[in-house]
Structure 1
Amino acid sequence: MILDQPLKKLFASKPGKDSNAKSLLKSISWRIVGTIDTIIISYFVTGEFVMALSIGSVEVFSKIILFYFHERIWESVPKVKEDDTRKEYA
């Protein structure tokens, strides 16, 4: 595949960490699921499909950005190895 190597480089990162591109794609895919959920809930609450679509379209962009930063913050938190937790309790 022509794009195989460039895509691997795009998603390559430090072992055990997601790349920025992967975090962005995860953000977008999660927002698709979340927006569909918001539209369905909005429809049940308002009873109006156009209103539900309006609510869903407004929140989709803000939540992609929020999730991306949330993911990057959590990715920066040091991971504790199993051996390190044993030392803390010893």
Structure 2
Amino acid sequence: MIVDQLVLDRNGAKSKYRSDKKSERPIRSVAKAVSWRIIGTLDTLLISYLLTGEVVVAASIASIDFVTKMFLYFFHERIWNKVNWGK
């Protein structure tokens, strides 16, 4: 599971995470997903507000967008890390 890959054991060593030497660690993918989603969510918030004129509706749309697309991006990144094409 993702959490197992991110958590350290009591001795500070990586848990049973199998390191992928050719790509980045999952924690980097999480950081990239969060930073990109912040940018994307601000864009969604602005567009939703311009279309609806309602802050509450725009914030609701942006909140749902933030969560769902962050997970999609994370798994998209991990899959692309397994593809050797273009490396």
| Shared fold (TM-score, shorter chain, > 0.5) | yes
Q: How many angstroms does 1:79 deviate by?
A: 3.8
* Higher Cα Rg, which structure: 1
List runs of 5+ in structure 1 lacking aligned partners: 1-5, 7-11, 82-90
Whichever residue aligns with residue 14 of structure 1, its letter is K
What's the RMSD between the two structures over aligned residues? Answer: 1.8
Name the counterpart of 2:27. 21
Task: Give the TM-score, by structure 2 length.
Answer: 0.72
Q: How many angstroms does 1:59 deviate by?
A: 1.2
Taking every aligned residue pair, what percent have the same amino acid on both sides? 46
Q: How many angstroms does 1:35 deviate by?
A: 0.4
Residues matched between the structures, number: 70
Which aligned pairs between 1:23-42 and structure 2 lie closer than 5 A? 23-42=29-48
Distance in 2 separating the partners of 1:39 and 1:80: 34
Q: Which runs of 4+ in 1 moved over 3 A?
A: none
